[in-house]
Structures are given as C-alpha cells and as structure tokens.
Amino acid sequence: MTQPAPAARPSATVPGAVHRLVDVPGGRIHLLEQGTGPLVLMIHGFPETSYSWRHQLSAVAAAGFRAVAVDVRGYGRSSAPSSADAYRMTALVGDNVGVVHALGEETATVIGHDVGSAIAADSALLRPDMFTAVALLSVPYAPWNAAVRPTDGFARVGGSEEFYVSYFQQAGRAEAEIGPDVRGWLAGFYTSLSGDTMPPPGTDSPFFVPAGGSMRERFTGGALPSWLTEAELDLCSAEFERTGLTGALNRYRNLDRDWEDLAAWDRARLTCPALFVGGALDSSTTWMADAIADYPTTLPGLVSSHILDGCGHWIQQERPAEVNAILTKWLRTVHP
C-alpha cells in the first residue's frame, strides 16, 4: 500500500524540480524530484550531488516519468554517518530501497554515473524485485570477483606511483589536500576529466599520484570546461565546503568490506534490461574496455550501448542533449 508523499518545496537551482527530505532506515536522504509516472531514480558519482542531474530531470519528466535525483549518503543534505563502515555498498543499496518506499512506490528504474553506476548496478543485483531496469553511465558493469581483493588490485595498478583509489582509501589524506581550497580542487578535478579540457595524450595522468605528492599537481589548469559555469562551480563547491569530503571519500574506503559482503554474488550476471553510455575519452571506458566487451555474458539484458566521441567522464553534463535522447528512448523501451 502506498504512503502519502512527503512535503516538498520548489528548487531554486533546478527549475521545475522540488526538494524533498525522506526518512530511510539509515537516516535521511535529500532528493530532487520532477514529473509523474514510473519512478526513475538517479544516483550521482564522485564528487557530485543530485545537482549533476539538473539537465536530465526535466527531460525524463517530460518523457512521462517521475524523475528523482538523490544526494547519496555522505553528500549534500543527506545523512553523513561518522563511521567509515556506514558507507558500505549494502547500506547504500538500502538507502535506495528506503527512498523507493518513502516515495510510496514499489519498483524503480535506476540510473547511475561514476561510483553511482556501481551503486545502481548493485541495487539491481541485490534487489531485482524492486530495481527492474538499470542504466550505467561512464563506469561499466563488472561483476564482483572473489579471487581479487580490491585494495590489492588497485595497489598493483599504481606501479611506482599511487593509483587514485589507493590514495582516497587512506583516511584523512585526500581531505588534507582538498580542504584548504575545495573550489580550486573541484575545478581542477572536473577540468582534468572533461573531454574539452583534459590533459593531452602522453602527459602524466591525474589518476596517479607521484611519490610524496598530491593529485592536484597533475590537474589541468586554465579555463573551466564548456559545460561548467563559474556560478555552477560555486554552487557545487559550496556544498562540499559545508559538508567536507569525508563522507564522499568513505565510499572508496569500503571496497574490501563490499568484497566480503557481496561474496555470494561472485561473477554474477546482471540480467534486467540495461543501458550503457560512456565517453570515448574517459579513462573508465578505455581501462574497462574488457568489461564492455564482456557485456553479452555479464549484462545479457543490455538493450543498447553507446560511446560518445570526444566526450570525457562527466557525460550527462558534457553532452546533456545526447544523453537525454538516449535515456528517454531507452526508458520508453523498458516502460512501453
């Protein structure tokens, strides 16, 4: 039986959307909502918030859906538990389940970007009764592998330097780098991973930290990417200046716990109707090319897969019109 929807208020930053705070077993989740129809739940990545879906909310709503973009636990106005292990994957999937229930719904289509792609995939994997279709942006689906502990695997990736995931896993280290200049760090991170402003091929990657160094020393300088205005950067950085980055970084600090928690899903296929959209210039697409090639086995419900030429990591913000067209076509396919 559905429950009445919680009170909402208009958003000042995303025209047509409303803000809502909903209670879930793990605390509370802030979300942006627009439209009516089948529920479509959007999960952002690092370091973003529900605002990263500002271009999709109206398009998905206009296509006949109830579009909802959440602030993941630890971000924005959602709860931010102090314990690092509160950010394990099972807790984040539980938050998504709680949001669906709080909105009076029984099922949802889930869309995720970056680390939100993994949260979306695992939501569909763990609760296929509730999350009946999944769209993955930028980060491909790769089944859990019981043979390789994540921390060990990422340590090997770094070689003589340190892979960014290993860097983020150390409590307090990235916070010490980011904290003195949150806006400048975010600007550098967004710019370095964007298709029109990323470092040229052959230069040192911002994903690898030199011994004794920091990530930001390899960020691209100069103008912001074309998709991000100074005002939008101000809004994004203000959220992280208020909350800090620890809650966001705690996602990376739970990968080994996830590996243990989800051992029963070793090499599990994700069988629901699915969509993948990646950027041709995004390292996630190139590094995980084998995962994409394995989709006939690992993602047998795949409806379509798209690689956008010239596009970097922030795909739904870099190419909103293209991504909206792909998403709405797919949504109408899985909800005829």
Which residues carry out catalysis?
A: 114, 313
**Quick check: 131 and 107 in contact, CB under 8 A?**
yes
| Parallel/antiparallel/unpaired status of strands 66-70 and 27-34 | antiparallel
Q: Measured between alpha carbons, how far is 281 from 268 in angstroms, rounded to an integer?
A: 28
Q: Measured between alpha carbons, how far is 282 from 207 in angstroms, rounded to an integer?
A: 12
Token pair 């500002």 in the structure block, residue: 54
Q: Measured between alpha carbons, how far is 333 from 336 in angstroms, rounded to an integer?
A: 5
Residue 225 CA: distances (Å) to CA of 220, 221, 229, 325, 333 = 11, 11, 8, 22, 33
DSSP string covering 148-215, please?
S-HHHHHHHHHTTSEEHHHHHHSTTHHHHHHGGGHHHHHHHHHHHTSTTTSPPTTSPPTTEEPTT--S
Q: Measured between alpha carbons, how far is 119 from 314 in angstroms, rounded to an integer?
A: 17
Q: Measured between alpha carbons, how far is 73 from 59 in angstroms, rounded to an integer?
A: 25
CB atoms inside a 10 Å sphere around CB 97: 19
| Residue 201 backbone dihedrals phi, psi, to 5 degrees | -55, 145
Residue 176, amino acid:
A
Q: Who contacts 39 (Cβ-Cβ below 8 Å, separation ≥6)?
A: 65, 66, 68, 100, 103, 105, 107, 108, 109
**Quick check: 194 and 310 in contact, CB under 8 A?**
no
**Quick check: 43 and 111 in contact, CB under 8 A?**
yes
Task: Please choose, from the candidates 224, 242, 241, 250, the residue with its C-alpha nearest in 3D space to the C-alpha of residue 182.
Answer: 241
Token pair 């019109």 in the structure block, residue: 321
CA 108 to chain CA mean position, Å: 17
